[in-house]
Structure 1
Amino acid sequence: MSSEPVQTYYVRRPARSRTLLALIVGFMGIAIVVISCFLVRASESRKLNEWTDKQAIPTVTEIAPARASGGPILTLPSRLEAYSRAPIFARVPGYLKSWNVDIGATVKAGQLMGMIETPELDQQLMQARADLASARASERLAALTANRWQAMAGTDAVAQQDVDERTSDWTAKKAVVAAAAANVDRLVALKGFARIVAPFDGVVTARMTDIGALINAGNGGAGSELFEVSDVRQLRVYARVPQNYARQISDGTTATLTVPEYAGKTFSARVVAQAGAVDSGSGTTLVQLFVDNRDEKLMPGGYASLQFGLPQSATGVRIPASALVFDERGLQVAVIGRDDKVFFRRVSIARDFGDSVEIASGLRTSDRVIDTPPDGLAQGDAVHIAKAIAREGSHE
């Protein structure tokens, strides 16, 4: 069997088939690029939406309400007054003959402070004594006459009517003597007021007269004050307490007192009385305190600052004033719930300390309060918590 060589024949594809294949490959590449761009855009859009949603949730600062370590301090202006203060006026007219004490002098009760020369009163006293002597002479004559007529009454020598008249005249004369004696005693008592004496132990805080000055009797009108004596061993302190604090200050409450002339030094004052009524004009009640001044460092009439340590509220908590929200619903505080969503609580303020407030009701120490809530924060909004800050209470 003869073997013949195998011949290989190559069939040349037409040019149209190669063009179609190239087109298919090109379309597939374009599709892959388009799909890749679409997927990238979808991923970026999803990330953008997630970022936008995340940024839409506000970030807030959480604070923890806390009780104050002590009660608040109530500072009030006040005035110091002498425990006893007596302006000395003249009871008799005349001229000042002499004065024995000047301002700042310490005096004892009954000590002579000055003398008034009373020429008119002296003349009136002389006349009254003369009238008394005349009345006594008339009374003695009436007594002798009445006794004689009474002795003759049993002899039928005189009428009983005449006896009665003489007896009545004697009685009248005795009344005239009594009146004249009383007038003398009155003028003698007035003469005693020519001696100006201290009414109690104290200090002369004013002298408003001098030798030869015309003295008019009385404490008003033409009368003028001669001296002023003050008892400064103990001073009265008067302060006006706002109505909302009045019930927290009672008799026996102590306060710290400071005065400008003793920087850094404090004095103790004690409440002894309250007015028991609120002044409608100022909304305050008047409180009186005593402060010991045996060393006479404090001066009556001076300004003083009082600090009352008020009791701490049993239910109140303190938060920064920036945590308060006031709108048409009233005074509220934004609180974070367990799911980090916001809800609002209505609160009432017990005391305002400026940068912080004491909440009387509506809030507990366990609540998570938002400090400086952003505008537009609504009930049920979710929030991110930036940082938790526990603020200690302060009694300042």
Structure 2
Amino acid sequence: MKNLLYYSVLLLVMALLLPACSSDENTKKMTGEQAEAVSQAAYQTVLVSVESVAKQLALPGEFIPYYDVALYAKVNGFIKSMPVDVGAKVNRGQVLATMEAPELESDLSRTLSDLTAAKGRLNISKSNYRRLVQASKTAGAVAPQELDQSQAVVMGDSANLTSQQQRVAAARQMKQYLMLTAPFDGVVTERILSPGALVGPTQKDAQPMLKLKEIGRLRLQVTVPEVYAGQIRQDAPVTYSVNAFPGKVFTGKINRISYNVERSVRAELIEIEVKNPGLQLMPGMYATVGFPVQRQSKSLYVPKSAVVVSMEGSYVITVVKGKTHWVTVQTGNETAGQTEVIGNLKPTDQVLVKGSDDIRDNVAIKTIRATSTVGTREVSAR
């Protein structure tokens, strides 16, 4: 009986242990497969390509208004009327909004009254002075001190009159500020406030009443990479195209050069003045601008996907002896699927086809060969 009980317990324990052992074996097997899959993971690389730069450098640009202003109220008051709205074409000096402020009317009336009183006092003091001068011709009739005092009164009243005239001019000018006028020819692009709104410079979080832009003329702004900055010349001809008008090529010239390389992007800002009488082009549109430049040396190209743009800047990831290296670059001309890069690169360098900031610097990775058409020749990765 004891033997039977012993064998029963033994069989029960074996039955419980067999699935656990099988599970451990499966887990080990799966872990091994995952490790093998990870070890087989590899990144595609291509060689940096050397090509001649096209004579026409193509760079992106953006249209901005020639003038762009937000119009605020200069005095405190309520908007009485606003005869313009979004899209209205206005001329310089045209009234865009009218405000009302009764206290300004009161100030003007008070200063006009003070001016009238000042004129009256001056006329009286002048009359008294003339009589004293006439009387002083008779010896002993007028004391010299009395004559001097009368003359001083005339000078004081005259100064007071000038002060009152200036106060009236200031009050009239403040009243003129109740009319908001256009500072230049343009188009109303935003109307923020409506009639009845309280406006003025003393208001907390003051908002503009309108936004006005001059778009009859536009500025086409382009940032030119540092490597080309030395070849940009004032009044040099350029061509540009806009996606909104496919197939149409516009012409212009370089009107302004900043003569300053921005450290953040290592590029120089230039402006092209664009006449836009038909208002076909609009601020915010992008353009592709062609510059007639030619580099003396050949340029290096990589796939567009190889360039990583992050908080650290623009860079490509090269692979040297199985380890990654970040190489800071500037981007230049673009061709089909390829981007010109300027930096510490050589034609024999291998770069990752698809760069990512998830791939850190100086880490070991596995690479495989990849073929990519760069420029006019096929490149095979090692």
Same fold (TM over 0.5): yes
Indicate the residue corresponding to 1:195 in structure 2.
Answer: 179
**Cα displacement string for residues 3-61 of structure 1 (whole angstroms, at most 9, x for unaligned residues):** xxxxxxxxxxxxxxxxxxxxxxxxxxxxxxxxxxxxxxxxxxxxxxxxxxxxxxxxxxx
Structure 1 gaps of 5+ residues are 1-64, 329-349, 360-368, 373-390
Rounded to whole Å, the distance in 2 between the matches of 1:320 and 1:224 is 49
**Cα displacement string for residues 314-368 of structure 1 (whole angstroms, at most 9, x for unaligned residues):** 5x4579889xx9989xxxxxxxxxxxxxxxxxxxxx9887869899xxxxxxxxx
Pick the aligned partner of 2:208 from 208, 219, 225. 225
Indicate the residue corresponding to 1:288 in structure 2.
Answer: 271
Indicate the residue corresponding to 2:101 in structure 1.
Answer: 118
Amino acid at match of 1:271: I
Deviation of the 1:136 alpha carbon:
1.2
Deviation of the 1:123 alpha carbon:
0.7
Contact 1:233 1:294 in 2 (8 A): yes
Deviation of the 1:160 alpha carbon:
0.3
Rounded to whole Å, the distance in 1 between the matches of 2:152 and 2:176 is 36
Rounded to whole Å, the distance in 1 between the matches of 2:339 and 2:69 is 47
Other structure's SS at 1:224 match: coil
Amino acid at match of 2:130: N
Rounded to whole Å, the distance in 2 between the matches of 1:351 and 1:123 is 65
**Cα displacement string for residues 177-205 of structure 1 (whole angstroms, at most 9, x for unaligned residues):** 11101111111122122122222222111
- Are positions 1:270 and 2:253 aligned together? yes
Rounded to whole Å, the distance in 2 between the matches of 1:98 and 1:321 is 60
Contact 1:112 1:197 in 2 (8 A): yes
Contact 1:269 1:292 in 2 (8 A): no
Indicate the residue corresponding to 1:58 in structure 2.
Answer: none
**Cα displacement string for residues 72-113 of structure 1 (whole angstroms, at most 9, x for unaligned residues):** 53323x332111223222222211100111010111222221
Q: 1:185 to 1:318 in 2, by over 3 A?
A: closer
Deviation of the 1:126 alpha carbon:
0.7
Contact 1:82 1:236 in 2 (8 A): yes
Contact 1:255 1:306 in 2 (8 A): no
Contact 1:258 1:306 in 2 (8 A): yes
TM-score by length of 1: 0.60
Residue pairs, 1:144-163, within 5 angstroms: 144-155=127-138, 156-163=140-147
Rounded to whole Å, the distance in 2 between the matches of 1:69 and 1:149 is 95
Deviation of the 1:171 alpha carbon:
1.1
- Are positions 1:177 and 2:161 aligned together? yes
Rounded to whole Å, the distance in 2 between the matches of 1:319 and 1:164 is 92
- Are positions 1:82 and 2:65 aligned together? yes
Aligned residue pair count: 278
Rounded to whole Å, the distance in 2 between the matches of 1:201 and 1:356 is 41
Other structure's SS at 1:210 match: coil
**Cα displacement string for residues 198-237 of structure 1 (whole angstroms, at most 9, x for unaligned residues):** 222221112122111112048x965431122222112102
Bigger Rg, structure 1 or 2: 1
Which 4+ stretches in 1 moved above 6 angstroms?
318-322, 325-328, 350-359
Amino acid at match of 1:307: V
Deviation of the 1:306 alpha carbon:
2.9
Contact 1:257 1:304 in 2 (8 A): no
Rounded to whole Å, the distance in 1 between the matches of 2:125 and 2:111 is 21
Indicate the residue corresponding to 2:189 in structure 1.
Answer: 205
Q: 1:226 to 1:320 in 2, by over 3 A?
A: closer
Pick the aligned partner of 2:287 from 298, 305, 310. 305
Contact 1:91 1:217 in 2 (8 A): yes
Other structure's SS at 2:271 match: strand
Other structure's SS at 2:280 match: coil
Q: 1:318 to 1:299 in 2, by over 3 A?
A: closer
- Are positions 1:141 and 2:124 aligned together? yes
Amino acid at match of 1:143: K
Rounded to whole Å, the distance in 2 between the matches of 1:313 and 1:200 is 42
Indicate the residue corresponding to 2:219 in structure 1.
Answer: 236
Q: 1:245 to 1:145 in 2, by over 3 A?
A: same
Pick the aligned partner of 1:131 from 114, 117, 131. 114
Deviation of the 1:263 alpha carbon:
4.8
Deviation of the 1:291 alpha carbon:
2.2
Deviation of the 1:308 alpha carbon:
2.7
Rounded to whole Å, the distance in 1 between the matches of 2:71 and 2:77 is 15
Indicate the residue corresponding to 1:253 in structure 2.
Answer: 236
Identity, in percent, stands at 24
Rounded to whole Å, the distance in 2 between the matches of 1:357 and 1:98 is 56
Other structure's SS at 2:261 match: coil
Contact 2:240 2:290 in 1 (8 A): no
Contact 1:68 1:312 in 2 (8 A): no
Structure 2 gaps of 5+ residues are 1-48, 304-317, 322-330, 351-374, 378-382
Rounded to whole Å, the distance in 2 between the matches of 1:358 and 1:157 is 101
Amino acid at match of 1:104: G
Rounded to whole Å, the distance in 2 between the matches of 1:355 and 1:114 is 53
Indicate the residue corresponding to 2:359 in structure 1.
Answer: none
Q: 1:235 to 1:110 in 2, by over 3 A?
A: same
Q: 1:234 to 1:106 in 2, by over 3 A?
A: same
Contact 1:89 1:226 in 2 (8 A): yes
- Higher mean C-alpha displacement, 253-262 vs 141-150: 253-262
- Higher mean C-alpha displacement, 230-239 vs 251-260: 251-260
Indicate the residue corresponding to 1:73 in structure 2.
Answer: 57
- Higher mean C-alpha displacement, 186-195 vs 350-359: 350-359
